Structure formats: C-alpha cells, structure tokens
Structure 1
C-alpha cells in the first residue's frame, strides 16, 4: 500500500464524499445520486452541504448540483461529533468538546450536591472523581 485514497466515508445515513476538484466532486455526487435513485430513494438536497478545505485567505465558490438544485456551501459542519472547518484547523472543535465536558461536569456536580442525593452516593462520586484526576 504505497498510496491510500479515501473517496467516501459512510456512517448510518450520513455520507461524506472527498474529491480533489469541483469536477471530480460533481461526478461523484452524480454517481451517488444515480445509485440512490436506482433504489427508489431521493437525496435531500436541503440536508446536503459541501465544504471546501481552503488554504490562505481566498474563499472558493463551488457550485455542485443535484437534480439541478444547488447544494449549500458551508464553512463548517459536524460529522460524528467532530467539527470540521474550511481552514482545516481543530482549535474550535477542541474548544467545543472542552465546553461540552465542562457543562456535563457542572450538571453532574449540581446533581451530586443536591439534598436528594445520599451521603454515601456523594462519597462514592468524590472517590471516583479523585481516581479519575490522579
């Protein structure tokens, strides 16, 4: 395996198509749409988006059509819980995950500090938390 080429990522009802050019992407979208139609289904263009990983300050417009309808171009999208941005950086995704973790931790602390939680449960929680930190 000298070279690995990934063209499509699939998970449940979500598909990501990767292409090196607008023309290549349009061809792959056409093939995907033809395959879907053969199975009696239809691509929901309203839920379909394209993102172009960009270099530098230029914004590239990419007109991809499905059945004559233009697909929305976005600067970011979430795939399997990860935020992808058109600049290819991960800092916003990392910050988003940290904020989500902090929110869950705060919610859990509020529950554990409730008067409805037994002393035994609080002690078990604090012991578990101490083990996770060390």
Structure 2
C-alpha cells in the first residue's frame, strides 16, 4: 500500500499554512485529500491506476466525505462506479463529521465513560467483600469525572 501511495502521488494533498498534508494510510485504508473536486478525482484516478498495476482494486464500498462548513456535492467515480457521499463515519473509534464538529463524538465518549463508571459501580462498589480502600483505589483514576459514588462507613 505504501508503494502504491508513493507511486500515485503527483501534486495531491492539501496545503495548510506552510505544511503539505499527504494522503493518509492505515492498514488497507487510504484517505485522499485535495483542495478541489477536480483535483481529488484526478488523485483518485492515479491511485486506482496504481492499484490496478499492482493487481488490486478500490473497493466499491468506499465512501467520500467533504469537510466543509457549507454542504456541497462531491461526485467521485472509480471506473464507472460512483462513490457514495456520507456526512459522517466512524473510523478507529473516532466519529468524523463533514462539518468538522465534535458534538456527537464528545457525546459518544461521555456516554462510554458513563457506561464504564456504571459497570464499575455495579461490580466493585456493591461488593461487600471489598474494603472501602480497595473500592476507592478503583475509582481514583476517574476522579476527574463527577461520580455517583457515595460510600457509608463499613461498606
């Protein structure tokens, strides 16, 4: 995948300040970025050509997402297949949104942390066999979160 990406690079990528952001690779996933739909289609075509030369192809399950404050269409094609455009997707446990906002991601993370605390409460705090010191040592790493933990003496 690294070789395919290196060979398919032309002028692709984004300029951000003085930095150039190249395509991102992780396992068999690729993120192509460009400043215009036309440039992105060109980069996608180069990438598809290099994939084919290596005996690989771009999956028809691939999706396109535009990061922009204003909604816009980005009709991309691989061969004669159109890529569906999505408004958000989750990758490596992170929710990406086309508007670049993080409200839903933060809500999901807070909910996940709450579920962990609730599970700890059920499995640790309610156990009479454990000392208060043991129970507090489990909760101490979460001290930055508001906790529903209320202990009585001797519990």
TM-score, normalised on structure 1? Answer: 0.81
**Whole-Å Cα distance in 2 between the matches of residues 54 and 61 of structure 1?**
10
Distance in structure 2 (CA, Å) of the matches to 1:63 and 1:33: 16
> Which residue of structure 1 aligns with residue 7 of structure 2?
none
In the other structure, the counterpart of 2:139 is 129
Alignment of 1:1-134 (within 5 A): 3-46=18-61, 48-56=62-70, 59-113=71-125, 118-119=129-130, 123-133=133-143
Q: Which has the higher helix share?
A: 1
Aligned residues: 128
Give the stretch that moved more between structures: 100-109 or 36-45.
100-109
TM-score normalized with structure 2 length: 0.71
Q: From the superposition, tell whether residues 131 and 24 of structure 1 become closer, same or farther in structure 2 (CA, over 3 Å).
A: closer
> Secondary structure of the equivalent of 1:50?
coil
Secondary structure of the residue that 2:136 maps to in structure 1? helix
Q: Over the residues paired in the alignment, what is the CA RMSD in angstroms?
A: 2.3
Unaligned runs of 5+ in 2: 1-16, 145-155
Separation in 2, partners of 1:131, 1:82: 23
SS of corresponding position for 2:30 = strand
Task: Extract structure 1 runs of 4+ deviating beyond 6 A.
Answer: none
Unaligned regions of 5+ residues in structure 1, if any? none
Which of structures 1 and 2 has the bigger CA Rg? 2
Q: Kindly indicate whether the alpha-carbon contact (under 8 Å) linking 1:7 and 1:19 is maintained by their aligned counterparts in 2.
A: no
